[in-house]
Amino acid sequence: MTRVAVLGARGRMGSASVQAIDAADGLEVVAQIDVDDALDAITESGAEVVLDFTQPAVALDHVRWCIERRLHVVVGTSGFDDAQIDTVRALEPATGVLVVPNFSIGAVLMMKFAAEAAPYFESVEVVEMHHPDKVDAPSGTATRTAEMIASARSAAGSPPLPDATHTDPDGARGATVAGIPVHALRARGYVASQEVVLGGVGETFTIRHDSHDRESFMPGVVAAVRAVAGRPGLTVGLDTVLGL
């Protein structure tokens, strides 16, 4: 039985994860930690794996704390960026640290398919759609998708994306991540959706994924918690856990 502590346990993702982990064979939630709770409760509970669904401002400190105590940690905190990932990599953790931008298996496949398709099209842009309570933009999934697309295009020797825009005082063209345009929508009714729009002469190709309920993330959460102890060091993305 793997003993799991959940940070951010009273949040939307944290509370759903507590239920999913407790329902999974071989896993047991032994500590539920939220704002103002002492982290010492994690070690007192005998937890072996920590699942973090807190905020970017504190998640890195939590990872350090776990590494120092030789605890495995899965980071699901949205907005855990490249600088924080580089900091974790520099720590050379002996335990497993798994940073997951998106726990949805469908979203992971969407990112993989987008990266595979991107070198075959002249244009590619990412549009992500989330609920208005989300605190970061662009989403971690959109950022990861853009980075994967850029890497695939670079490896294939693809030319820069065409874009004649030279006047955009209000930022209508969105942000750029690794040279890929990324647009963020925030509207009530969404949970998490993303489109990758690819274009060539005479055609467009759209890859879209929608999560309608946070239950869609739970199989990925369980898979990550089960896998992290067997992956010492830093791993980014659920795709490696799934063998993609």
**Shared domain check, 224 and 199:** no
Q: State residue 57's pLDDT score.
A: 86
Q: State residue 77's pLDDT score.
A: 87
The CATH number assigned to the domain holding 185 equals 3.30.360.10
202 pLDDT higher than 90: yes
7 pLDDT higher than 90: yes
Residues 6+ apart with CB under 8 A from 86: none
**Shared domain check, 208 and 112:** yes
**Shared domain check, 157 and 95:** no
State the pLDDT confidence band at 26, using cuts at 50, 70 and 90: very high
Which residue range forms the structural domain that includes residue 140?
A: 105-212
Q: State residue 122's pLDDT score.
A: 98
Q: Which of 150, 212, 202 is CA-nearest to residue 181?
A: 150
**Shared domain check, 121 and 48:** no
> Is residue 169 situated within a structural domain?
yes
State the pLDDT confidence band at 203, using cuts at 50, 70 and 90: very high
Q: Which residues are catalytic?
A: 130, 134
Mean pLDDT across the chain, nearest whole number? Answer: 95
**Shared domain check, 205 and 109:** yes
**Shared domain check, 128 and 195:** yes
> Is residue 208 situated within a structural domain?
yes
Distance CA 189, CA 129 (A): 10
State the pLDDT confidence band at 230, using cuts at 50, 70 and 90: very high
Long-range contact pairs involving 44-48 (C-beta distance under 8 Å, separation at least 24): 45/3, 45/5, 46/3, 47/3, 47/4, 47/5, 47/71, 48/2, 48/3, 48/4, 48/72, 48/229
Q: State residue 243's pLDDT score.
A: 85
> Is residue 178 situated within a structural domain?
yes
Q: State residue 49's pLDDT score.
A: 98
**Number of domain units in the chain:** 2
**Shared domain check, 79 and 9:** yes
**Shared domain check, 229 and 167:** no
**Shared domain check, 158 and 67:** no
> Is residue 241 situated within a structural domain?
no
If one counts every other C-beta atom within 10 angstroms of the C-beta of residue 150, the result is 20
Q: State residue 187's pLDDT score.
A: 98
**Shared domain check, 123 and 89:** no
Task: List pLDDT tens digits, range 43-92.
Answer: 999 999 999 999 888 999 999 999 999 999 999 988 788 899 999 999 99
> Is residue 243 situated within a structural domain?
no
Task: List pLDDT tens digits, range 107-121.
Answer: 999 999 999 999 999
**Shared domain check, 231 and 203:** no
State the pLDDT confidence band at 135, using cuts at 50, 70 and 90: confident
**Shared domain check, 193 and 133:** yes
Q: State residue 17's pLDDT score.
A: 97
State the pLDDT confidence band at 240, using cuts at 50, 70 and 90: confident
